[in-house]
Amino acid sequence: MHARRYAREAAASAKPDPAITFDFDRMVADAGTMTSEGMGEAPRFIAFASLSMPPAALRVLIDDVTKAGGIVALRGLPGNSAKALTAALAKVAKPGEQLDGVGIDPRLFRAFGIEAVPTYVVTSSDFDLCDGFDCRTQVPPHDRMSGNVSASYALETFARGGGPGALLAAQHLARLERQVP
């Protein structure tokens, strides 16, 4: 409830400045819009990351996961500061770029018990994230890999492994490998 109200207010007061590399208010407003439009279902290809990762490595991860149709999840605001988040993402984003495939969602970290990054997850089906601090999301069967590997390597391993996320991993891998003319 409070998140939706904040998203509405942020959307109403957001004044985009093309000189700003990352617009935190827009990210919150977009998340609120997605939720209100019923598009806020949990993603099925997720790369868990941290702003403590080297900027070049994080950039490659964001590019590859986004191209493959997945999302990059961050646990939260560094030092509980939107300003610190903006500064950290400015080191990763290209000038004027909106990092649409990047979001903050501690619920995903909690649901999958993520303790190390990068971690890649491909689920076998949709699922609903619970919103309470004490609740536990029942995650569907999924494939999971942690370590300093590429999105391509993780997806290829999942697709060839025949696990619960194999079919979806193959689809994301095909999308990642598709050549852009």
CA dihedral 23, 26, 30, 33 (to 10 degrees): 170
Instruction: Provide the pLDDT for residue 180.
Output: 57
Instruction: Provide the pLDDT for residue 131.
Output: 79
Q: What is the pLDDT of residues 126-160, one digit of tens each?
A: 888 887 777 778 899 999 999 999 999 999 999 99
Instruction: Provide the pLDDT for residue 133.
Output: 73
Provide the pairing of β-strand 71-74 with 45-49: parallel
- Whether the CB-CB separation of 51 and 77 falls below 8 Å is answered with no
Please give the CATH architecture assigned to the domain spanning 42-177.
3-Layer(aba) Sandwich (3.40)
- In this prediction, the residues of the chain whose per-residue pLDDT falls under 50 are 1-3, 6, 10, 14-21, 28, 31-40, 181
Tell me how far CA of residue 57 lies from CA of 64, 90, 139, 181, in angstroms: 11, 14, 28, 25
Helix or strand run (H / E) with residue 33: helix 24-36
Domain ranges, ordered by start, for the chain: 1-40, 42-177
Helix or strand run (H / E) with residue 24: helix 24-36
Instruction: Provide the pLDDT for residue 31.
Output: 45
With tokens 């279902």, the residue in question is 41
Supply the DSSP string of 113-126, one letter for each residue. Answer: T--SSSEEEEESS-
Instruction: Provide the pLDDT for residue 34.
Output: 38
